[in-house]
Amino acid sequence: MSTTTSEPTPAPGPAVAPQQVARTSKGAITAMVLAIAGLTLAVGITSPFAYVKARQALREIDAAPGRLTGRGMAQAAQILGIIGTLYLLAWVVIGFTAGIGGVELSGVLRTALNQAFGPNAIVYALAAIGLNVHFGYTGLLNFGQAGFMAVGAYGLAVSVVTWDLPFWLGIVVALGAPVVLALMLGIPTLRLRADYLAIATIATAEILRLVFGAVETKSVFGGSNGLTGYAGTFQDANIFRNWDIFTSGALGFERLDLGIVDFSKRDLWSMLVGWTLVAICCLIVWAMMRSPWGRVLRSIREDEDAVRSLGKNVFAYKMQALILGGLFGGLAGLFLALKQASVVPSDYSTNMTFLAFTALLIGGAARVGGPVIGAMILWFLISGLGAFFGQATSGSDPLVPSWLMDNTQSSLVRFIAVGLGLMLLMIFRPQGIFGDRREIAIDGR
């Protein structure tokens, strides 16, 4: 590699650029740091990034000869990045075949994929689809989605258990309750500024959760233990009940083993119903958002006053969006109630709203499929991290020393990571994976 020839020499002639002080390329330094970190601390995890960063830095340096130095460093970082990536690949291969320090990566991957396609992801996908209508398309900052989910779930449970109504009537109540909540919440609050709306909705969701869990309302809502015994009709309708495709898995539960994923009969039935619901909801959102009605919603997100000056009733449109999104939220709650056959007030906490928001932002707001992909990725990461650290801290000789992390603490790492991830996502890529930066209502007040 002849570096001397590539040194820029001020060419004789009139076109001499003003003398600039050459500085070392920042990209090259970053790449070098990542490469060294990958080889020493991070088991090669940062090495692929080092390689990519080094290539970018090389292009930048070549594009601006004389102004940026550090070509040698970038090249070194590129080579170290390749070595580190191979190192990482070796670990992955060993991890899948033999396991590292008691952690079997295939088991971790299995758990993660199970959850990414399982009923939990469906709940969050439905909730995030609702938030997408609110926040992604209309720009309404609803931090009370857990409240909509709670009234959906309790709508069914209370009608069937407390009022002794038939199951189908319970479903009707469960779908009516979020609409009523949206009307009650929307009429007064939709005039408020974004952050006030956020506080008002978060407070409403908390009020609902506290009232549902209170001792005083135990005869209706079942107190902190919640309600059970309403989902019989749903479970009896399970079409997989008599299918002969299940093998006896761990603890004697019958499971369908598909190699890398396995599901129980109940989960499979929940998934069939749930993913159908998700598909229908996505179809509705897709159809409505390409209609003139959807275009008005988007314009409200961009500039409310402009829409008003065109003679549109902004309040009515916002209300319709709140109802539609709330209905999806209620559906999420209803589905959660059906799949776990119990409603417990502590499930519908503010954290649930925040996680649904995270799912939406991962996939990308104002995109039909964004919330669905986001929920799957979120659950893949949450359960994958949980399984990894759970395994890494159990056994007699855990991979992670017990003074650093014990088995109880290991379940918290994933939520620390979610918090950190949400911050980084919002700072560096607010549009998520599929979103368009111009379509995110994050700059307004």
* Sites of contact with another protein (CB under 8 A): 141, 188-189, 192-196, 198-200, 202-204, 206-207, 210-211, 214-216, 223-225, 351, 354, 357-358, 361, 405, 408-409, 412-413, 415-416, 418-427, 430, 441-445
Minimal distance, residue 357 CB to another protein, in Å: 7
Q: Are 383 and 112 in contact (CB under 8 A)?
A: yes
Which is nearer to another protein, 84 or 186 (by Cβ)?
186
Any idea which residue has 């590699």 for tokens?
1
SS3 44: coil
**3-class secondary-structure state, position 312:** coil
Q: Closest separation between CB of residue 426 and another protein, Å?
A: 5
Q: Which two tokens stand for residue 194?
A: 């974004």
Q: State which residue, 98 or 215, has the beta carbon closest to another protein.
A: 215
Q: Between β-strands 227-228 and 342-343, what pairing exists: parallel, antiparallel or unpaired?
A: antiparallel
For the CB of residue 404, give the shortest distance to another protein in the complex, in Å.
10
Residue 16 main-chain phi, psi, to 5 deg = -75, 125
Nearest distance in Å: CB 191, another protein: 8
SS (H, E, C) 170-191: HHHHHHHHHHHHHHHHHHHHCC
- Report the alpha-carbon distance of residue 153 to residue 212 in Å, rounded: 11
Rounded-to-integer distance, Cα 414 and Cα 403, Å: 19
33 versus 214: smaller Cβ distance to another protein: 214
Shortest Cβ 423–another protein spacing (Å): 4
* Phi, psi for 23 (deg, rounded to 5): -125, 160
Nearest 5°: the CA angle 133, 136, 142 is 70
Which one, 24 or 409, has the nearer CB to another protein?
409
Between 102 and 223, CB nearer to another protein: 223
Q: Which residue's entry shows tokens 């002080």?
A: 21
CB of 365 to another protein, least distance (A): 11
Q: The tokens of 445 are what?
A: 């007040």
Nearer to another protein, 238 or 342 (CB): 342
CB 402 to another protein: min, Å: 14
> Please, which residue, 114 or 431, has the CB nearer to another protein?
431
